Structure 1
């Protein structure tokens, strides 16, 4: 793998002071995000006002390399910011993760391409879909011809560039690669009709026989392999492992939403009784407060597991020893488990609050839908991740190569 030498090289993840400052800025726009969360759910799209507010505070510049004016942040920074955004609007947190995660993928292309993508100081919003090849790139004389459809492309409605995983054919040789295209080379099909995370607008990207230069297509091994991670003189933002980082951070919108749901139920417990009992307010019931304690610990355990994974990812990117596969698999198991306990916590909170949670206008019901939808993302889903962890424990071939 040929990699251009870096300039303005960063060796470490941003300090927690920088992370905390960004989180504080998120809370400063919390009213905007929270007010628009219901609109995002109803319209299946995060309102532009929220996107503009997130842009203004720099939330879409977390993964952008320092040489292009970004924070060059790691897993912990993106996790904490998405958690804070998710408290107000899970869909806004989701598109923030996806855009930054897509920038993180872009960082593994050649600098000549990055110079084009980040040509000015304006934030670049991106989309990507990398779970399974959905299109094809065929080598031609002056580049690649690309066609295909990529469903579930979160943030595609806001994107200026988008990345898709595809099959490649180069003079009869087949492989897997990634292609990045600007907005004028793909169209969007409105296909995202769900009960939760509706505002992510995860519609289908369509590419119809587009010619792109060599720079815009790279092999899967360059994108997902450990080549960058082994280089001591490479910049932090290009060394951070893509798939595990995305898996860890895409779980955090649900974490923030769960924390908001807990706060809501606690607050309402002072104003509501337990139907068909003499308990008033709700917190006069020992069973109720015990249930709250359990839900709180479920949410806290998720935070601790995700924090541990994020910190481990950042430490590895600060060095030159790639994280071993069994360790990656263990963190994937932790991610799956964190999603499971968050869904359980939301179920329990709805039991505790009462059937009012399932009113069409209930914020708690919306959060329940968002969390239960979000934690079923392919990178988070517990059955797959538990099995990956088990594969690593017993030392057998893993069911997925993307770790």
Structure 2
């Protein structure tokens, strides 16, 4: 982990400009164990908990939110792949458990046509973070299952798809969240799983991380790098203030208020991850985790907004680290899983009935 944190800090400005991670950072996140974190133990993985992953994401995010984002998603996509049939899991992890898996599953896109033995997949899927380095990608399409439509997720190996350089976001630039393109690519039936299976729980005997629904943990995972970014922005301002103490009382007050906000976001995510690891899995817990993650994201936005405004003449500079973190937090907080309004509605229904 130390090597990854060091490299993330060293290359943060560079990956922001290049719009993708450096290979050295990818190698370090593999060594730190992110891709194998949720891989089933029978394939050599850790089948780990959510709390350790959230803590690791926050730690790396303090140095580089984009690196933390990709590392966390490589881990969580391994959890999704564990829902695939056994034959597909063997193809993905049989050689080793450190397979890098990217994904574009929400919203579903492309077109999947049933053919003998599987499916023919074509179209484009956007927002696949870290896909430039992926060995496999998970893609979701709407399909007709009997008399109703459902979402099906397909596992496609590298070499079967093209990556289009489309990521031009204001923040989280280093994630390389590019577009995947396929043209009539055959996907065997054993490399697919339906979304309802992912939203439910797994069969008895699996590790806890494979026995909780996606909705319990998705938002919490996405929020981890944001908390790291907010804490990193506080650290940047502390470092600057130690070298050149601000004369403006507003800058000192901004630091004093933003620091506990960032810490509060971290505490909310720690508690939510703990519930995912040990708590009862029911509608109320799912709603609580979604709401806590959304509130944590809002706290991170509030913290970096205040710190950015207090930077004065340094804030507008694109290479200012607080400016970079401000862009990263605002971009990541826009993710659908972290929107407060739907999370609040779900929480009110679960608590009030």
CA distance in 2, matches of 1:171, 1:328: 29
Picking from 273, 287, 291, the partner of 1:329 is 287
Alpha-carbon deviation of 1:392? 2.5
Which residue number corresponds to residue 187 of structure 1?
162
Which residue number corresponds to residue 350 of structure 2?
392
Picking from 322, 325, 330, the partner of 1:367 is 325
CA contact (8 A) 2:45 2:97 kept: no
Q: After the TM superposition, which of the residue ranges 65-74 and 363-372 deviates more from structure 2?
A: 65-74
CA contact (8 A) 2:198 2:213 kept: no
Alpha-carbon deviation of 1:358? 1.7
Which residue number corresponds to residue 295 of structure 1?
258
Query: Residue 250 of structure 1 aligns to a residue in which SS?
Result: helix
Cα deviations by residue, 1:57-84 (Å, 9 ceiling, x for unpaired) = 3232211122111211121121111111
Alpha-carbon deviation of 1:163? 0.8
TM-score norm. by structure 2 comes to 0.94
Cα deviations by residue, 1:16-46 (Å, 9 ceiling, x for unpaired) = xxxxxxxxxx234422211111111001001
Query: Residue 93 of structure 1 aligns to a residue in which SS?
Result: helix
**Distance verdict in 2 for CA 1:240–1:171, change over 3 Å:** closer
CA distance in 1, matches of 2:41, 2:62: 28
CA contact (8 A) 1:166 1:176 kept: yes
Q: After the TM superposition, which of the residue ranges 91-100 and 205-214 deviates more from structure 2?
A: 205-214
Alpha-carbon deviation of 1:146? 1.4
Say if 2:48 is the partner of 1:90: no
Query: Residue 184 of structure 1 aligns to a residue in which SS?
Result: coil
Unaligned runs of 5+ in 1: 1-25, 396-403
Alpha-carbon deviation of 1:170? 5.2
Alpha-carbon deviation of 1:172? 6.9
Q: How does 1:44-193 map to 2 (within 5 A)?
A: 44-121=19-96, 123-169=98-144, 174-193=149-168
Unaligned runs of 5+ in 2: none
Alpha-carbon deviation of 1:292? 2.1
- Please say which structure displays the higher CA radius of gyration: 1
Cα deviations by residue, 1:312-332 (Å, 9 ceiling, x for unpaired) = 11115xxxx6x2123211221
Picking from 288, 299, 305, the partner of 1:341 is 299
CA distance in 2, matches of 1:113, 1:172: 27
Which residue number corresponds to residue 21 of structure 1?
none
Q: How does 1:30-49 map to 2 (within 5 A)?
A: 30-49=5-24
CA contact (8 A) 1:137 1:169 kept: no
Cα deviations by residue, 1:244-275 (Å, 9 ceiling, x for unpaired) = 3221011111111111110111121133354x
Cα deviations by residue, 1:317-366 (Å, 9 ceiling, x for unpaired) = xxxx6x21232112211111110110110011123332302212211111
Number of aligned residue pairs: 353
CA distance in 2, matches of 1:32, 1:234: 35
CA contact (8 A) 2:36 2:97 kept: no
CA contact (8 A) 1:179 1:217 kept: yes
CA distance in 2, matches of 1:343, 1:237: 29
Q: After the TM superposition, which of the residue ranges 104-113 and 132-141 deviates more from structure 2?
A: 132-141
Picking from 221, 239, 246, the partner of 1:249 is 221
Which residue number corresponds to residue 231 of structure 2?
259
TM-score norm. by structure 1 comes to 0.83
Which residue number corresponds to residue 11 of structure 1?
none
CA distance in 2, matches of 1:182, 1:57: 23
Query: Residue 254 of structure 1 aligns to a residue in which SS?
Result: helix
